[in-house]
Amino acid sequence: MPSYLAEIVAAHRAAARADHRDPDELVARALAADGAVRPFAPALAERAVGGLGVIAEVKRRSPSKGDLDPSLDPAAVAASYAAGGATCLSVLTDRDFFGGSPVDLAAARAAVHLPVLRKDFTVSAADICDARLMGADAVLLIVAALSDEELTELSALADRLGLDALVEVHDQAELRRALDSGAGLIGVNQRDLSTFRVDPERAVALAAEIPDGVVAVAESGIGGPEDAERLAAAGYQAVLVGESLVRSAERTAAVAALAGHRVSPRAAQHAGERR
């Protein structure tokens, strides 16, 4: 596992080990949580019929870029994204590395009617339950941070709680693991986890490996409409964009410029080999 990811995941695993809440009781609470879950993956699939969807991210800072907008108002940012035509939101809840919190997620979700992804480093069943309890509609599962057993078990728990799981991959081997786990929503992160550099060809190269029926999302390094158009042409139904939107002086217009590009069919050359 690359060093920066290893550090963050190690911190989250330490927190999970220190969490002494009763697992069965936590699952029961999550199953009984108030409020309907908003459909995340279906919203992206439906939007893609009319053009590229945008998962717009509420993000205060990042380990690689430092502060982006540490004093942002998550409700106001969410409203500006929704006005620009965002399909879904992504909200960072990691406090130590990204400056986020569950409060940010709750505020952003309350401000709009869009489905919301809890963007965090999910390593335990408690993380999934907490996502449901804080009001998230989807969780992030990073293949590089999880074993195959964990990936399967956490995906199953998310499904049991009515949450979608965005399963994030960085290369072909991780994509195979994600598909073997039954993932129906896959994000391809173009950022190299060891160097933080963005490879703009990474998502395009993997697009044809993602079978039809799987919702595909391109992540990281998406700066403007040219990037969005290229990824839509490769067959991605949505893009997840954080830094460029948070830094934009006109967030509503920035989202609108990314959304709606025609989504081309993916070749899915090797889909039959895995089914």
pLDDT average, residue stretch 118-126: 97
Q: What is the mean pLDDT of the chain?
A: 92
* pLDDT for position 197: 77
**Where residue 260 sits, what CATH number does that domain have?**
3.20.20.70
* pLDDT for position 108: 98
**DSSP tag of 99:** -
**Residue 28 falls within a domain, yes or no?**
no
pLDDT at 168 over 70: yes
* pLDDT for position 267: 62
* pLDDT for position 2: 53
* pLDDT for position 274: 39
**pLDDT (tens digit per residue) in 228-265:** 999 999 999 999 999 999 999 999 999 999 999 999 99
- Domain of residue 113, residue span: 3-17+38-274
Calpha distance 77→100 (Å, rounded):
14
**Among the ranges given (58-67, 77-86, 138-147, 150-159), the one the predictor scored with the smallest mean pLDDT:** 58-67
**Residue 26 falls within a domain, yes or no?**
no
**Residue 32 falls within a domain, yes or no?**
no
How do strand 88-92 and strand 215-219 relate by DSSP bridges? unpaired
**Residue 30 falls within a domain, yes or no?**
no
**DSSP tag of 87:** S
**Residue 142 falls within a domain, yes or no?**
yes
> Whose CA is closest to 265, among 104, 48, 112?
48
**Residue 83 falls within a domain, yes or no?**
yes
**Residue 31 falls within a domain, yes or no?**
no
pLDDT at 269 over 80: no
Catalytic residue set: 57, 59, 119, 168, 189, 219-220
Contacts of 161 (CB under 8 A, 6+ apart): 27, 30, 31, 33, 37, 128, 129, 132
Contact at 8 Å (CB) between 187 and 175? Answer: no
Total count of domains within the chain: 1
